Structure 1
Amino acid sequence: MSIRMLIVDDATFMRMMIKNIVTKNGFEVIGEAENGSEAVKLYSELKPDLVTMDITMPEMDGIESVKAIKQIDPGAKIIMCSAMGQQAMVMEAIQAGAMDFIVKPFKQERILQAIERVMSR
C-alpha cells in the first residue's frame, strides 16, 4: 500500500520538485495546496497519510495550518519545509505538531529519510 501525500507550498516549482521525488519513489500525491487554508480544507477532504508543509505562505502560514490540521486529526503526520535561516520557525512548527523538517533546496535522500522517519512513528 503506497503512502498518500498532500504537498503544500506556495511555489508551484517547489510542489513539482517534491512531487517528482516522491512519486518516483513509489508514493502517491493525492493533493496539492498553495496556502495554509487550502491545505486544511484538503486535509479534511482527502485524509492523506502524510503532509509536506511550507512554513512561509500567504493567507495562512504553515505553523497556523499545522495547528488547524492537528485539531482535525491529532495523529496527523506533517513534515515542515523551510528555507535556510528559519530555525526559530522550525522550532515553533515542531511545537505546533510537525514531526520533522526538511530544508530547501531539497535533497532527495533527506526527503525520503524524513518520510521514512515520520511514517515509522
Structure 2
Amino acid sequence: MAKNILVCDDAAFMRMMIKDILSKNGYNVVGEAENGAIAVEKFNELNPDLVLMDITMPEMDGLQALKKIRETDTDAAVIMCSAMGQQAMVIEAIQSGAKDFIVKPFQADRVLESIKKVIG
C-alpha cells in the first residue's frame, strides 16, 4: 500500500519537484499546503502517514505548524526541509518532534532515504 504524504512549501515549484520525486517512487501525495496554517488544517483533514514541511513559510512557519500538528497527534511523522541549514533551526525542529531534517537544495535520493527511515 502506498504511503500518503502531505507536502508543505510556500514555493509551488518546490511542491511540484517533491511531488514528482514521490509519485515516481510509489508514494501518494494526498495534499499540498503553501503555509503552516493550511498544513495544520490539511493534516487534521487528511491524516497523512508523513508530512514534508518547509520551515520558512508565510502566515505560520514550519516550526509553529510542526508544534500544532504534534499537539493533535504526538506520533505524527514530520520531516522538515529548509534552505537554511542553520544549526539552531535544525535543533529546534528535532526537539519539537521532527523525525528528520533535509537541507535544500536536496537530492531525490536524500529525500527518499529520509522517508524510508521515518515511515519505511
TM-score category (smaller protein): over 0.9
| Structure-2 residue corresponding to 1:63 | 63
Kindly provide the CA deviation profile for residues 85-105 of structure 1, in whole angstroms up to 9, marking residues without a partner as x: 322111111111100011111
Q: Segments of 4+ in structure 1 off by > 6 A?
A: none
Map 1:71-90; keep pairs closer than 5 Å.
Answer: 71-90=71-90
Q: Deviations over 1:52-73 (max 9, x none)?
A: 0000011000000000000111
Give the Cα separation in 1 of the matches to 2:86 and 2:70: 22
| TM-score, normalised relative to structure 1 | 0.96
Q: How much identity, in percent, do the aligned residues show?
A: 62
Which residue does the alignment assign to 1:98? 98
2:85–2:103 contact (8 Å) kept in structure 1: no
User: What CA distance in whole angstroms lies between the structure 2 residues aligned with 1:78 and 1:62?
Assistant: 10
Which amino acid counterpart does residue 11 of structure 2 have in structure 1? A
The SS at the match of 2:80 is strand
Unaligned runs of 5+ in 2: none
Hey, what does 1:48 align to over in structure 2?
Answer: 48
Partner of 1:114: 114
Gaps of 5+ in 1: none
Q: What number of residue pairs does the alignment pair up? A: 120
Residue 84 (structure 1) shift = 3.9
